[in-house]
Amino acid sequence: MFDELINKLKNDTYITLETTPGHSPVFAPIMEKIEELGLQHHVDAFSTTDNPLAKLKYNALFAAKMLQDKFNKPVLATMSMRDRNKIALQSDLLGANEVDIRAILALTGDPATMSDQPHTKGVFEGDSSLLLDIISAFNSGMNHAGKPLTCKPKTIYPFAVVNSYAKNPKTLQKKMQKKIKHGALGIITQPVYDVEGAKLLLELRDAANDECCSENKRGELILGIFPITKLRTAQFLSAHVPGINVPDNWLELLRKANAQGPEEEYKVGFELSKKLFDDIKEIHPKIHLMTANQFQLAKDILK
């Protein structure tokens, strides 16, 4: 299952769909919606988020296990450095390994100050590179302290993230280099909103690989796409989310559509997003689709 996924990442079309577990003790309704729409037939894998924005959600590892068992598709389970120390990280990886949750998306995590839980403190024993190093140690049969495990775990496949925009592109290249050096097989970008930006990211990936890695240890870039169907979403991303650039023409077209009503606003936003997806797929068919659980929108984009 995972070998096939990595082969697709390196040599073929590769599309993953993000799922966000809810503030609920049940994950089944999300799977039911995916099955109802037949989304499992349109993607190569799913991912599960880990308490994004430090808001309490259903556990990403348990959700990954349920998705994987239900659809027989690999799932990238996100693990954040915010909520776990090295003991907890390694313990979770050991348990996940036996039940075959072995694609791990390593994140540093959003600040705990954003949490909906009063007086929450972040752990942050390190950034996502620490988790990548832990995974590397596990793949060698040791824990992070260098002590051999009783038996070698099944191979874990590490993924990481990077911003999609920076005033100085060299900073993105350096971040890619760091994550590749620490073992990331795939690097998922924040959402991209123009083809030229995507091409620049691919150039930076090539430079990062050439700078730091041998032929058998190169990272692949996975371009993130988050469809925008509302002006306020575009304005929020543009003004408040570092590392994302929403082009002025998107904002202007959505502003004009918004003035004509919600149906026109959705229509224009969808057309922009669908064209972006199709154009990106033409130049680099390695895509991570994020729709905040708007699964009908995901299907409309994918079909």
| CATH code of the domain containing 255 | 3.20.20.220
Residue 203: predicted pLDDT: 97
Tokens encoding 173: 């290249």
Residue 252: predicted pLDDT: 97
Q: Is 213 helix (H, G, I), strand (E, B) or coil?
A: coil
- Nearest-angstrom CA–CA distance, 5 and 252: 39
Instruction: Taking the CA atoms of 283, 288, 292 and 297 in sequence, report the sign of the dihedral they define.
Output: positive
In which element (H, E) is residue 264 found? helix 262-283
pLDDT in tens, the chain (303 residues): 999 999 999 999 999 999 999 999 999 999 999 999 999 999 999 999 999 999 999 999 999 999 999 999 999 999 999 999 999 999 999 999 999 999 999 999 988 988 999 999 999 999 999 999 999 999 999 999 999 999 999 999 999 999 999 999 999 999 999 999 999 999 999 999 999 999 999 999 999 999 876 666 789 999 999 999 999 999 999 988 889 999 999 999 999 999 999 999 999 999 999 999 999 999 999 999 999 999 999 999 998
Rounded to 5°, the CA angle 169-174-177 comes to 130
Considering its fold, how many domains does the chain have in total?
1
For 82, the domain range is: 2-302
Burial label for 6, CB within 10 Å (0-12, 13-18, 19+), is middle
- Name 298's Cβ contacts closer than 8 Å, sequence gap at least 6: 17, 37, 39, 289, 291
Burial label for 125, CB within 10 Å (0-12, 13-18, 19+), is middle
Residue 240: predicted pLDDT: 86
Do residues 280 and 289 make contact, with C-beta atoms less than 8 angstroms apart?
no
